[in-house]
Amino acid sequence: MPNNSEALRRLLQTDTQAESAGISPAAAILVPGLTVLHHPEAERSGERVALAGLISGRAESLARGEPAFSHPGSALLRPLADPYLSRRPLRLLPGAGPGGVRLCCGDSGTAVMVDGEPVEGELEIPAARLDRGAVLLLAGRVVLLLSRLDPVGVAGASAFGLVGESAPMLVLRREIQRVAGLDVPVLLRGETGTGKELIARALHETGRRRERPYLAVNMAAVPTTLAAAELFGASRGAYTGADRKREGYFQRADGGTLFLDEVGETPPEVQALLLRALETREVQPVGSDDVRRVDVRLIAATDAHLEGAVAAGRFRAPLLHRLAGYEIRVPPLRERRDDFGRLFLHFVREALAEVGEASRLAVPFGARSWIPSPLVARLAAYDWPGNVRQLRNAARQIVIAGRDSGEPGMWLQAERLLRETARPASPDRESTPPHPPSPSGPPANAARRSYRSVEEVTEEELLAALRANRWRIQRAAAELGISRGSLYDRIEKSQRIRKAVDLSREEIEACRASCKGDLDAMVEALEVSKRGLQRRMTQLGLS
């Protein structure tokens, strides 16, 4: 019997536009799947399986011996095979609502918790919950994520030191690969803690300037009065304390790469000088009449909404356009939740290696893992507003606590960390247990992402978000604070947004000709979602 990936390859036609964008065939169509977040055999974190049957109305089984999981790109297929899982399967079926999944326990002997709640009988997991990702704890030992996956998931780009094989990470790697060898300025946009500096280094070390200097400066940490001197240098006596000539970051990075972190914090008076340096490739040290020509590849990063800063007069529009020669969006951890297991294991291994105790992760077959699985399930259900940086710090602190105090110490440390950084929660989730929870009974659910009511979204706000995010539904939904499923419903009801199904063959052909076959450009010109346009073109035989 063919495995799920092979079945999906037959069900889904190869999408040449998706391939050219650097993602696997059919990656534009995400299907329900399971990802291993934690397993007593630590190296199994990150294995996954696409549940092909669910998209064709068939049930899928989940038990000790099925289905077969594998790491993306690997030919090795193997079941979960944990002796504490029942051989009698749990069943996953298409849900009652569109895009949902129904979990049926039946006569399986495997205890199941979903997002911290025990399941008996059946549980309906609606589309919005699947979009976020539901955390399954099986028999208190194996943690899985039920979410939407790229059904094929073949990595096609170098790792660049980035951990993760989720669809957003594959796209990010291809973006790095696409622009690394060019000299255009790059603007990295993403929330704090997502790893923007790591990506900046990857761009430098993969590009033609890899043998030249790489310098980084945090614009938020540079005093306003010294910003110009820090960037462009200063002559002796230019300001109080300048007892010698000094070179700025631009001169020191000549021939290489200069990374400006938190560029949105650049003082207004320095923005004009920065714009001139970008336009002329010349800098003038403070207090000097000399102009020096420099050859610097500029990479900037921000977690700020620069367009809003431009509208408020705090940031110069021409500078924004210069910095954004090419934009790369760095996804937050909550959008790549299926990477949680890989990342957490990576950081735990790092922390254990630092204290010379890496062997703690190696356990005999059938034994419990050193870090309790219910704790990992608790962490996986959290939204991590501080993203990868916050997760790394948490992993290190949990490891240190576990060395001295075992599981109770890990639980207390994890709960303290989550409580201190949690988003506003409902009153019934504000309190914490007065004593460490038992390993078999994890604490209350992790804070869930709170969505806005879709009725709050106005037509104008809806259109603005879609246009700003180039009709990428997931990104627009995140900006609006609603689920992807809710956004699709809102689009369907809108009187001002045209649907892809309404496009005629003649209009699509004319647009394709004017856009020279660039699907992303067609999406922006026609103002429809990429997925909808692909479907319509397939219907009309234009793929």
Decide if pLDDT at 394 tops 90. Answer: yes
Tokens of 505: 């063959």
Give residue 432's pLDDT: 34
Tokens of 220: 């938020």
Could you tell me which residues come within 8 angstroms of residue 514 by beta carbon, excluding any fewer than 6 positions away?
525
- Give the pLDDT band of residue 449 (cuts 50, 70, 90): very low
Residue where the block lists tokens 């290696």: 353
**Coil/strand/helix, residue 203:** helix
- Give the pLDDT band of residue 241 (cuts 50, 70, 90): low
User: Based on the number of CB atoms within 10 Å of its own CB, is 166 exposed (0-12), middle (13-18) or buried (19 or more)?
Assistant: buried
| Average pLDDT of the segment spanning 92-114 | 92
Say how far apart CA 474 and CA 99 lie, in whole Å.
Answer: 15
Decide if pLDDT at 424 tops 60. Answer: no
How many alpha carbons lie under 13 Å from residue 312 in its C-beta half-sphere?
9
Say how far apart CA 514 and CA 229 lie, in whole Å.
Answer: 48
Give residue 451's pLDDT: 55
What average pLDDT is seen over the chain?
83
Could you tell me which residues come within 8 angstroms of residue 376 by beta carbon, excluding any fewer than 6 positions away?
37, 38, 143, 341, 344
All domains of the chain in start order, with CATH: 4-155+333-429 (2.60.200.20), 185-236+245-324 (3.40.50.300), 454-539 (no CATH)
Give residue 506's pLDDT: 85
Cβ atoms < 10 Å from Cβ of 109: 12
Give residue 11's pLDDT: 41
Say how far apart CA 510 and CA 19 lie, in whole Å.
Answer: 23
Give residue 422's pLDDT: 54
Residue type, 199: I
Give residue 343's pLDDT: 96
Instruction: Give the bridge partners for 34, in sequence order.
Output: 49, 146
Decide if pLDDT at 10 tops 60. Answer: no
Give residue 26's pLDDT: 37
| Average pLDDT of the segment spanning 66-86 | 93
Say how far apart CA 249 and CA 233 lie, in whole Å.
Answer: 7
Give residue 543's pLDDT: 67
b/e 312-326 (16+ beta carbons within 10 angstroms → b): eeebbeebbebbbbb
- Give the pLDDT band of residue 152 (cuts 50, 70, 90): low
- Mean pLDDT is highest, among 55-64, 442-451, 501-510, 523-532, for 55-64
**% of the chain surpassing 70 pLDDT:** 85
Per-residue pLDDT tens digits for 277-287: 999 998 888 87
Give residue 22's pLDDT: 40
In degrees and rounded to multiples of 5, residue 194 shows phi and psi of -85, -5
Give residue 485's pLDDT: 67
Decide if pLDDT at 446 tops 90. Answer: no
Give residue 65's pLDDT: 96
More confident call, 123 vs 424: 123
Give residue 393's pLDDT: 95
**Coil/strand/helix, residue 124:** strand
Give residue 16's pLDDT: 38
Say how far apart CA 190 and CA 193 lie, in whole Å.
Answer: 8
